[in-house]
A and B are shown apart, each in its own frame.
Chain A
Amino acid sequence: MIFLYAFLIGGAICVVGQLLMDVFKLTPAHVVASFVVIGAVLDVFGIYDRLIAFAGAGATVPITSFGHSILHGAMAEGHEHGYLGIAIGIFKLTSAGITSAILFGFLIALFFRPKG
């Protein structure tokens, strides 16, 4: 069942992005930036955690989860070390994503040729 929910929620979040692009004429960069901020805002009241529990990867794969996990890591350290903890923990949960994006991006740019 989680597979169906992942498909539906993941698709629905992308439709919201498509509507922002088509109807409000936002560039893809603006859509992605607003989605990251929306994800962080939704984390404040634990709404995004409920969405993840419901839809699994349907909520963790869209870029909104990036904003959510940045705030999540920041708050986990923030509860322990106060305001400084926010700076300590901000990349705690997203480091796997950022590290792999830098590593694979660099290696593939090194070994592949640009197409088109």
Chain B
Amino acid sequence: MLNDPKNYSESIKPFQPEVPYLMNCVKAFLVGGLISLIGQLIQTFYVHFFHFSNQEAGNPTVATLILIASLLTGFGIYDKIARVAGAGSIVPVTGFANSITSAALEHKNEGIVLGIATNLFSLAGEVIVFGVVSAAVLGMIRLFIEQIF
């Protein structure tokens, strides 16, 4: 039965571990919410002590979170959080920093140029590619529509 390719996905079902949907969601919610809360604390700190406006404070906040996440990745702590939190650690911008740092660390033994620098964006490149492509297409459409009306 297991060798029949047609029924394969059906027949392995009883052998697969069941996905704890609710528990995963709760963990993702708590960790993702906590990271956002820390971000809000950092942002409020920048607004009060460095006199950024609320909108300008977003940039240094993201940079600070990226620094923290890169350090935690270096110490191996972020991977432990990610094992529990799932999407809660992938969706925030800290996950972007984690994917850059961990890809660079993983290829460290191949050298600084061929290992670290070449592989820095091997996981995170998709974020930039999809961001630029979608923004360029949407921006051109929006500009075109605005020029007509």
Interface residues of A (CB under 8 A from B): 2-3, 6-15, 17-23, 28-29, 31-33, 35-37, 40-41, 43-44, 52, 55-58, 60-67, 69-71, 74-75, 78-79, 82-83, 86-87, 90, 93-94, 96-102, 104-106, 108-116
User: Which residues in B have some Cβ–Cβ distance to A below 8 Å?
Assistant: 19, 21, 24-25, 27-37, 39-44, 54, 58-63, 65-67, 70-71, 73-76, 79, 86-88, 90-97, 100-101, 104-106, 108, 112, 116-117, 120, 123-124, 126-128, 130-132, 134-136, 138-140, 142-143
B143 touches A78 (CB 8 A): yes
A2 smallest CB distance to B (angstroms): 6
| Pairwise interchain contact A98-B128, C-beta atoms closer than 8 A | yes
Contact status B96-A66, CB under 8 Å: yes
Chain A residue nearest to B146 (CB atoms) is A79
Partner of B127, one of A12, A20, A32, A105: A32
Give complex CA distance A18, B29 in Å: 9
Whether the Cβ atoms of A112 and B134 lie closer than 8 Å is: no
**Among candidates B21, B66, B92, residue contacting A10 with C-beta atoms closer than 8 Å:** B92
Complex contact A62–B117 (CB within 8 A)? no
Contacts of B29 in A (CB 8 A): 11-12, 14-15, 18
User: Which residues of chain A are within 8 angstroms of B60 by Cβ–Cβ distance?
Assistant: 96
User: Which chain A residues lie closer than 8 Å to B139 at the CB level?
Assistant: 71, 74-75, 78, 86, 90
Q: Do B25 and A86 touch across chains, with their CB atoms under 8 A apart? A: no
CB neighbours of A7 from chain B (8 A): 33-34, 36-37, 40
Given contacts A44-B142, A98-B128, 14 further A-B contacts (CB under 8 A): A6-B39, A7-B40, A10-B33, A17-B87, A18-B88, A31-B87, A32-B126, A36-B131, A86-B143, A87-B136, A90-B135, A94-B131, A104-B66, A104-B101
For B135, list chain A residues within 8 Å (CB).
40, 67, 70-71, 74, 86, 90
In contact, A61 and B39 (Cβ under 8 angstroms): yes
Bound Cα distance A60, B67 (Å) = 16
On whether the beta carbons of A28 and B87 are closer than 8 Å, the reply is: yes
Which of A2, A66, A75, A111 is the one whose CB lies under 8 Å from B131? A66
* A109 close to B127 (CB less than 8 A): no
A108 to chain B, nearest CB (A): 4
A69 CB to closest chain B CB (Å) equals: 8
Q: Is the CB of B131 within 8 A of A32?
A: no
Q: Which residues of B contact A82 (CB under 8 A)?
A: 143
Chain A to chain B: the 8 pairs with minimum beta-carbon distance, closest first: A10-B36, A14-B32, A11-B33, A115-B76, A109-B104, A17-B87, A57-B39, A112-B74
